[in-house]
Every structure is written in C-alpha cells, then in structure tokens.
Amino acid sequence: MNTQEILDLFDKYVIGNYGRTPVAIVRGEGSTIWDADGKRYLDFFPGWGCSLLGHCHPHIVEAIREQAGMLLHMDNTFYIEPQGKLAEWIATRGFGGKSFFCNSGAEAIEAAIKLARKATPEGRYKIVTMEKSFHGRTFGAMSATAQAKTRAGFAPLLAGFEHVPFGDIDAVKNVVDDETAGILLEPIQGEGGVNVPPDGYLSALRELCDDRGMLLLFDEVQTGCGRTGKWFGHQHDDVVPDIMALAKAVGGGTSLGAICAKPEVADHLTPGSHASTYGGNPLVTAAGVAMFEIIERDNLLARATEIEQYVFGKVEQLKSRFSFIESSRGRGVMIGIQLSIDGTGIVGEALKRGLRVNCTQQTVLRMLPAMTITNEQIDEGFQILADAMSEATKTAEAGTS
C-alpha cells in the first residue's frame, strides 16, 4: 500500500485520538526508518523512547523469533523462564527487589499506586506528584499527571493526588500529612521538558519519606534501562526508591511495563491483589532480556554518556548561529534543547528534510536517540536540524512582516 492508501484506512477505521503526521512508516533499521513511498528518515525519537537500541536490533529480533517459535504466550498461571530472567536483570542492575510485569507505562503506574496504598498503613492513600509530570492516560496515572491538557474533560479523577512544583522540597513538605502514602516523580521529567532535578532534591525526598513513613516512587518509564548513561535514572543521585515503574525500553521495543519494589514492599502484592493476563509474557520478556544483554555486551551505558557530550557540543555550535537556542539539558540519550520560540515549525521542517525529532512543552526540542546511533548519524541529523531552523525562522519572519 502507498501512503495515501494507508492514510485512507485510518480516516475510515481508526479513532482520531492522535495528532498524527501524514507519513506511513513501513520499515526501520537502527536509527533509520523508511515510509511507504520509500523516503528515508533519520530517527532521533525512535518509538517515543521505546526503541532504545534503535529499530529492529538483530539480537532482539533473533530472540523474538526464537521465543515465538517455542512459546508465544503463556499466562501467569505458570512459571516462565524469560520473565524470571528479566526480573533478575532489573534487580541486579538496580536496587535488588522484585518485579511485577504489565503491558505499558500507565499500567506500571497503576500498579505502583495500588502497591503504595497497600504497603502503607490503612488511612494512607494520598500521593504527591510534580507539576509538569507525565505518568500516563489511565485514571490513576492521569490523576497523578499534573498537566491540565492531559486531564481536561475527564473529571472526576481519582482522589488523593497533590501536585507541587518539581525541584521544590519545601513545597512537598507543606502538603504531606499522615494520610500521605508516597511521593511519585520522574528522576528526570520527560514530557515536561527534560527537566533535571536540582542537586540534593532526590535525596531530600528520600529523607522526608523515611521520616514520615511514606514510600518513594520513581517513574523510570522514560529514564530507565540505560537511557541516561546509568541503568536507572536515580543512580545518578544514589537514591534508592521503594518502587520503580518501568516501560518503554524495558521490552526491547515490544509492549511491556513493570514495577520493581523492595522485597518488603513487593510482598504486599499478594495473590489475587493485582494481575495482568498478558503481563510479562514470554515474547516481550525475552525481547527485554536481549536488550539488557546488548547494553552490557556493547558497553552502551558509557556510549550513552559519549552521545550526550557529542550532542551537547553540536547544540553549542548551533547556538552560535541561532539566537533562539537558549540551552541544552538532559543525560545520556535523553536530551532537551530549550528554545525561546515555538519549536513545532522546526520539527515539521526537519521531517520534510528527513529527520524526526520531537517538541514538548512547545519550546523544548526533545531527542531520545538510540544508544546505537553513530556520530556520523548525529552529524547528519544536526545538519538537517540547522537547515530546518533556518527555514522555519525564515517562514516565521515572513509570516510576521
């Protein structure tokens, strides 16, 4: 089918809840994707962060092929080796603990909220979350998300969520009380603009939780599994959560979510208290194991930090040409470029020229490139980005004159 035929199918049969770009993608390899008309794009935002090793990494594809031929799905009535192995990878590269598997980030957050309520004494049900957070679209995750655009039209939401500014420890202290079960946040905010917390903030939250009998919950859906140059985002600050939520990369590009919790917390999810029929099935957990293997085998944590530095250098070069670039921030392959102008026009121009990037909060260009991206691909992408910036600003100037 060509692009138009695929678009027509969507027009007729698929609900229009996404602001889709009129491009139909049919193939991917590493940091490259091709559309139905054969056009090639560099992908600096593969799968919204799900494809951490790029598209169709051969080791992951092989693991999926092998697993699919042996046992495609098996429910959680029985034990399955890949799920146990993936839980071991998460525990041994993280803070120990035990995992529960589901299918998405929002479901992982739901599980984390349920566990926080269940593992704290009766009467504790409130959760403090951060302004500009994003935790997903189900009712619990949406209630945790402090962005009006995500919540609009769906009231009443789940009770018990208090939202405070990210990075402000006093604001958290002011809202917690004896009914607070926990504090939930992303160690680096993604959708909120790639916001890195101030030094000492995560450890101050840890201390507050310990003092007040609350749990610390990290949403590592975007920061997890090596993206930031450490296995998990919280390891930069040496702060251990009680519960960590994972999704996106954890399934190696297949749909998988998880929570990992300290054993004494995890044990509150007793049989019958929570479940997911597809959660942690053999196919997706085999893909997740393959992904962890490659990150370790190819020393990609160190490479993520190299990419970070290389990209920051590229942004500095662009800054000297474009005065609307204010700063860059992020860690590893999670990078935000702060602009003083709306970035959506730049994203559109870049795509026309064969580069996919994202814009969040209107003024932050966001990149979640694969850990396998090469410096040559970064060079090519930034050349396209520079051209797109020139064109977008020309167009904007023409529009205002």
Ligand X SMILES: Cc1ncc(COP(=O)(O)O)c(C=O)c1O
Query: For binding to ligand X (CB under 6 A), which residues are involved?
Result: 104-106, 109, 134-136, 186, 190-191, 219, 221-222, 247
Min separation Cβ 361 and ligand X, Å: 13
Min separation Cβ 321 and ligand X, Å: 31
DSSP string, 104-171: SHHHHHHHHHHHHHHHS-TT--EEEEEBT----SSHHHHHH-B-HHHHTT--S--S-EEEE-TT-HHH
Min separation Cβ 246 and ligand X, Å: 9
Min separation Cβ 253 and ligand X, Å: 13
Name the residue type at position 354. Answer: G
| Helices H / strands E in the chain, number of each | 13, 15
Per the document, the length of the chain is 401
8 Å CB contact between 131 and 164: yes
Name the residue type at position 84. Answer: G
Query: What is the H or E stretch that residue 174 is in?
Result: helix 169-175
8 Å CB contact between 254 and 283: yes
Query: What is the H or E stretch that residue 355 is in?
Result: strand 355-356
Min separation Cβ 369 and ligand X, Å: 16
C-alpha 162/C-alpha 392 separation (Å) is 39
Min separation Cβ 191 and ligand X, Å: 5
Residue placing its CB nearer to ligand X in the complex, 141 or 384: 141
Residues with Cβ within 8 Å of 147's Cβ and at least 6 positions away in sequence, in order, are 132, 133, 134, 191, 192
C-alpha 287/C-alpha 327 separation (Å) is 36
3 state SS of 191 = coil
CA trace torsion 85, 274, 248, 389 (10° rounding): -160
Burial label for 37, CB within 10 Å (0-12, 13-18, 19+), is exposed
Is the backbone of residue 272 left (phi > 0), alpha (psi -120 to 50) or beta?
A: left
Residue placing its CB nearer to ligand X in the complex, 221 or 265: 221
Residue placing its CB nearer to ligand X in the complex, 133 or 372: 133
Min separation Cβ 107 and ligand X, Å: 7
DSSP annotation of 196: P
Residue placing its CB nearer to ligand X in the complex, 184 or 384: 184
Residue placing its CB nearer to ligand X in the complex, 246 or 384: 246
Residue closest to ligand X (Cβ)? 105
Residue placing its CB nearer to ligand X in the complex, 102 or 164: 102
Residue placing its CB nearer to ligand X in the complex, 219 or 349: 219
Min separation Cβ 247 and ligand X, Å: 4
Min separation Cβ 134 and ligand X, Å: 5
Helices (H), 245-368: 263-266, 282-297, 300-321, 344-352
Residue placing its CB nearer to ligand X in the complex, 205 or 221: 221
Residue placing its CB nearer to ligand X in the complex, 135 or 234: 135
CA trace torsion 139, 105, 231, 298 (10° rounding): -170
Residue placing its CB nearer to ligand X in the complex, 222 or 281: 222
Residue of 136, 104, 331, 373 whose CA lies nearest to 232? 331
